[in-house]
Structure 1
């Protein structure tokens, strides 16, 4: 399954060359123990991507499936894979690939290439439909790069944050911002690719458990990591490419929950922000005074 934006997806919200949908887990002929597990996990009915993609995988088709963040892609390939494997065979029967260690541990999405596929089933969501409904997007105009830190400190004291992710474009900036906020007595954690895996695991565990409420990160965290209580995403730096924007702000508002994304924008960033708006057919408004009421 892939989450890459494909350029030839037409104007409809969903393109698929596989017409069958199954709107109930009971109708998927799942193994009894698997079906019990699905319901025990809290699922009630399949999401749109699950209705379209679980059955073709079970039937042995190659599948390319793309959908919004937080719509159930993990369960899609997990359920279909568990249906196909023989639990009595104590050997590796499935290989799941992910682009980062954290993602592999969470099994949030699988990236495959078409060269390994034979006439794959395609279930794709148009790229400019990928902005999640329910995420309110704002910007704060910052006159100078050097003023972003004070702006962040003011914002930090203005809003009550359940959990938040702050994105920077470089590992050095992550470390710098972490040190600066810590010096101002803000409690934050940081994660980037220069850290060893043990350290990253501890940081993610603390963030998932809620003992750490604010995580500063590079785009390492942007793809697929699902932390249930993230309500605020701050782009301290706008992403270097517009495709990463949706993966960043998708950390808030997972599975239809509400979220807020705030972008710090200098004069040099305005062009990129407009490109992001055009690319996703969205509008990023100036942050209102009552932003605390929205988080």
Structure 2
């Protein structure tokens, strides 16, 4: 199926083509025809599956562009509001459809002026309720979208959402998107939707199939060492590390910074301006690693995140789905890596059952394995390097005192410092140990968990370490390549 099959307005179709989109994602394929037919809709879809286009393209295709606010999109966070607004602006600019972004922490006057010029308003619940209740704005949108509905309810916005709908016209088309479908979402849907059509994914599809899900079993005191070792081994382009608490975020940021990584934290105590600058730096490459709490990462939408690390396993299955959905976006592949202690193995099995997925257990790479990977990467890099005139002159200068073989050895010794890996030789448990612990955990289902009885030995540590499904990706060096620039923020309001 192609986007041209939807018969969208010509200017919208041109914008789609310019964006490089050809084939719709599953949620777009199912949702767009229903929206065009005028149905209310409730859709279950993860972040990164193309939801914005799934509702944005059809409603913009049906808009008149008469200067009034025809569409309202309600989202849980400022970051998501800016992201959705930017995407809608891109699709709608050829049709003359302007967007306004509305969220707290900024001046009312500027936002009100932009609303007066906008065809679509993208808003967070708190600020939108303030504007409507105070009478500062009035709107009669024909199309209303609730995006990330489960996150809005988790954040305590149920009352605000119900109140907002008292200010909206009864005759409207309402669309609701949610990654999960708890009872609270179904009850809200009954109140604000009329005879809705449903777009749903099956349980087995509730996590993105392009995401490889791995877990590593380590002792509690080994978490920091295991995390650094895995980052060194996987060499992610961009990654997000999830923690449970703010103080854990701050501690990990300090620890990883000391290791030479370009890293920044994201949690609820940060000022909005600081959050915006930090997120922009992450998107633009000034930061490689984000350490965040679940709440702080809501609305964070970055397309080229290659890895998600769960420093601690999340408290519930829904949080796990939200976390790992930050990678494997836009048709790309990703890896979700979870660190677990032996007594958390039952939780892993419960999440697998709840989500309908399968996580693979692996063994933390040894120090020598990472070092060998780096050496291989260095050899490849040297063989691909072009010889420069200044390098030739440098060697000529060195030849006044040294022979060519000694020069080669010295230069190799210098660059090889990059491949040195710190830390213990072995971290975490072997596969045989993990299998025994899983067996005990499942047998002990009614009792006290997986336990920490390791049976005395370290599994298959001695001799050869059993490796199954190892991703043999080469790992680059931290030294030299990790700059620490920061990029400034800029507003995303359109109009």
> TM-score, normalized by length of structure 1?
0.84
| Structure 1 Cα separation of the partners of residues 201 and 270 of structure 2 | 34
Using the alignment, how far apart are the partners of 2:362 and 2:273 within structure 1?
38
- Answer whether contact 1:224 1:247 (CA < 8 A) is retained: no
Alignment of 1:285 onto 2:360: yes
Query: Contact 2:41/2:197 (CA < 8 Å) preserved in 1?
Result: yes
Q: Is residue 2:216 matched to residue 1:140?
A: yes
- Pairs within 5 Å for 1:156-171: 156-171=231-246
Matches of 1:286 and 1:88 in 2, distance apart? 57
Matched position secondary structure for 2:74: coil
CA shift, 1:119, in A, is 0.4
For 1:204, the equivalent position in structure 2 comes to 279
Query: Is 1:106 the equivalent of 2:83?
Result: yes
**Which of residues 186, 203, 208 in structure 2 aligns to 1:127?**
203
SS in 1 for 2:286: coil
1:265 offset after TM fit, Å? 0.4
Report the Cα offset of residue 139 of structure 1: 1.3
1:8-27 equivalences under 5 Å are 23-27=1-5
Q: Which residue of 1 aligns with 2:313?
A: 238
Q: CA deviation at 1:292?
A: 4.8
Distance in 2 between the 1:57 and 1:172 partners?
Answer: 44
Contact 1:69 1:132 in 2 (8 A): no
Deviations 1:165-218 (A, max 9, x none): 100011221112112222333221111222121111111111111221111111
Contact 1:189–1:212, Cα closer than 8 Å, also in 2: yes
Task: Provide the C-alpha distance between the structure 2 equivalents of 1:256 and 1:34, rounded to a whole number of angstroms.
Answer: 22
1:248 Cα deviation (Å)? Answer: 0.9
1:64 alignment partner, one of 42, 64, 67: 42
Q: Which has the larger radius of gyration?
A: 2
Asked whether the 8 Å contact 1:188–1:212 carries over to 2, the reply is yes
In the TM superposition, residue 225 of structure 1 has moved relative to its aligned partner by: 3.5
Q: For 1:245-288, what per-residue CA distance to the aligned partner results, in whole angstroms no more than 9, with x for missing partners?
A: 11111212113322111111012322211111111232222225
1: CA distance between counterparts of 2:148 and 2:314? 23
Alpha-carbon distance between aligned partners in 1 of 2:352 and 2:34, rounded to the nearest angstrom: 35
**In the aligned structure 1, how far is the partner of 2:54 from the partner of 2:10?**
17
Deviation at 1:238, TM superposition (A): 0.7
Q: Secondary structure at the match of 2:39?
A: coil
In the alignment, which residue of structure 2 is the partner of 1:19? none
Cα drift, residue 294 of structure 1: 8.8
2:261 to 186, 194, 198: 186
* Match status 1:92 vs 2:69: yes
Q: Over residues 91-110 of structure 1, what are the superposed CA-to-partner deviations in whole Å (9 max), with x where a residue is unaligned?
A: 32211111222122212945
Moved more, 166-175 or 99-108: 99-108
The answer (yes or no) to whether the contact 1:96–1:110 under 8 Å persists in 2 is: no
Gaps of 5+ in 2: 88-146, 150-175, 177-187, 366-469, 476-495
Distance 1:95 1:110 in 2: 14
In the alignment, is residue 47 of structure 1 matched against residue 47 of structure 2? Answer: no
Aligned mates of 2:233, 2:226 — CA distance in 1:
11
Given that 1:68 and 1:125 are in contact with CA atoms closer than 8 Å, whether structure 2 keeps it comes out as no
Kept in 1, the 8 Å contact 2:309–2:338? The answer is: yes
**In structure 2, what is the equivalent of residue 4 of structure 1?**
none
CA contact (8 A) 1:128 1:279 kept: no
Alignment partners' CA distance in 2, 1:282 and 1:52: 23
> Between Structure 1 and Structure 2, how many residues are aligned?
271
Q: Distance in 1 between matches of 2:31 and 2:474?
A: 35
Which of 217, 239, 262 is equivalent to 2:337? 262
CA drift of 1:239 comes to 0.7
Q: For residues 220 and 50 of structure 1, do their structure 2 counterparts lie closer, same or farther at Cα, with a shift above 3 Å needed?
A: same
Q: Which has the higher helix share?
A: 2
Contact persistence 2:80–2:301 (CA under 8 A): no
TM-score calculated relative to the size of structure 2? 0.52
- Give me the whole-angstrom Cα distance separating, in 2, the residues matched to 1:47 and 1:182: 38
Q: Which blocks of at least 5 consecutive residues in structure 1 are unaligned?
A: 1-22
CA RMSD in angstroms, aligned pairs only: 2.1
